[in-house]
Amino acid sequence: MLVTVPWACHAPPLRSGPLRTDFRSGPELLVERTGVLFGPGFFSDRASSGSGFERPGSVTGGILDVVSEQPAADRHPPSAAKLRAWRRMLADERAEATVYRELADRRHGTEREILLRLAEAEQRHAEHWRRLLGEYIGEPRRATFRMRVLAFLARGFGWIFVLALVQRAETRSNYESTADATEAMAADERVHGEVVRALAAQGRARMSGTLRAAVFGINDGLVSNFALVLGVIGGGADTTLVVLTGLSGLLAGALSMAAGEFVSVSSQRELIAAGKPDDTADGALPLLDVDANELALVYRARGMSATEAERRAEVVLRRPVPEQHPAGEEPDGGEVVGSGAKAAASSFAAFAIGALLPVLPFLLGLHGLLAVLVAAVLSGSALLLTGATVGVLSGAAPLPRALRQLAIGAGAAVMTFLLGLVFGVTAS
């Protein structure tokens, strides 16, 4: 007897073997000679992965289960390793959905909507692993350490920092090499990585000026003052002179960095403002000679070809209400540079913090080699942390950035110390 499934199901050929039907208090069951049990939703997953199954509508109204013709006692349960992997995948997907929901709670508008949609997608992935586990789901398993850290950071740290970490997690997804994940799930993860990248890019643009000033400030403070302290130590200076030199370098460097950032950011904003379209020019559009079409010159001056410029000008002139910006540009040219005052304050504070660390052991009363070693450990740790943070926020691997930052700082300090030794010996 041919079984009619309530859905539109265009299935690939089944294995050869007898088919039988079993009617329960609902839809028909299709029995196949395979020893694999697929739970509800299996065909919807395979439809999205392009295996030939199509099912319009939702799962409501009928469930198609594929069950084994063999007795239950003869079925082979999944291996222990496979069950562990499925449980780990389930826990990770649930944790990732929680991360997106935590981030969405701190945002609003479009960003909140996008994050909630991502959380729903991760929950669908979790449901896939739950269906595979079936009766073997067992006790809830903890997510991997990486996902637990992300969930913790999502509750207490800046959302841009967490988004950058999530971006790396999405791009490193191994679903393409996981046999039990569908092709649609692997494609989802790739798309999720691009969505998170776009969200993080918007946040980086908004904080770029302040972040750049803070990163450069703390790095310059660490490197310059640590090198300065080692230089005077190499020259034979006592603790009092080291402290005086270090604090002087801190104050002078912080003020210099703040002033430089203020001038730099303010000048950049003024340059961008000078290139903004003039809103008052919109009032002249109705008075233009359409035949002369002077408006086309605006677009040609901004890079369009003659044909494109004329076509664009004709469209604008036909509109009853002219555009606010004739060339369709954003007010700031699409470039966010931040506030000069904020950049200056961020740079001053960051430089002062970085420059204080090499001097701190001497301020606490340490002397000689012990003070130098403590200063080196503090400065090196701060350089590693700064480099790793920059790597995370930029979407790159944190370890190479951290080691690069440490190498630059250590190289400058060693060179200054050697110069101090040379000039100290020469002076004596």
What tens-digit pLDDT sequence spans the chain (428 residues)?
444 444 444 444 434 443 333 433 333 333 333 333 333 343 334 333 444 333 333 333 333 333 333 333 344 777 888 888 888 888 888 888 888 888 888 788 888 888 888 888 888 888 888 888 888 777 666 666 666 776 676 666 666 667 777 766 666 666 766 777 877 887 887 788 788 878 877 766 666 556 667 777 888 888 889 888 888 887 778 888 889 999 999 999 999 888 988 888 788 777 777 666 555 555 555 555 545 456 777 778 878 888 888 788 777 766 655 444 444 444 444 345 567 788 788 889 989 999 999 999 999 988 888 988 999 899 999 989 888 877 776 666 788 888 998 898 888 888 887 887 777 644 44
pLDDT reported for residue 231: 83
Interval 117-163: pLDDT, tens: 888 888 888 888 888 888 877 766 666 666 677 667 666 666 666 77
pLDDT reported for residue 248: 92
Interval 334-347: pLDDT, tens: 345 567 788 788 88
pLDDT reported for residue 153: 67
pLDDT reported for residue 137: 79
pLDDT reported for residue 327: 43
Q: SS3 for the chain, per residue?
A: CCCCCCCCCCCCCCCCCCCCEEECCCCEEEEECCCCCECCCHHHHHHHCCCCCCCCCCCCCCCCCEEECCCHHHCCCCCHHHHHHHHHHHHHHHHHHHHHHHHHHCCCHHHHHHHHHHHHHHHHHHHHHHHHHHHHCCCCCCCCHHHHHHHHHHHHCCHHHHHHHHHHHHHCCCHHHCCCCCHHHHHHHHHHHHHHHHHHHHHHHHHHHHHHHHHHHHHHHHHHHHHHHHHHHHCCCCHHHHHHHHHHHHHHHHHHHHHHHHHHHHHHHHHHHHCCCCHHHHHHHHHCCCCCCCHHHHHHHCCCCHHHHHHHHHHHHHCCCCCCCCCCCCCCCCCCCCCHHHHHHHHHHHHHHHHHHHHHHHHCCCCHHHHHHHHHHHHHHHHHHHHHHHHHHCCCCHHHHHHHHHHHHHHHHHHHHHHHHHHHHHHC
Computed over every residue of the chain, the mean pLDDT equals 70
pLDDT reported for residue 34: 32
Residue 47: alpha-carbon gap to chain centroid: 31
In terms of pTM, does the model score above 0.85? no
pLDDT reported for residue 204: 66
pLDDT reported for residue 208: 59
pLDDT reported for residue 168: 66
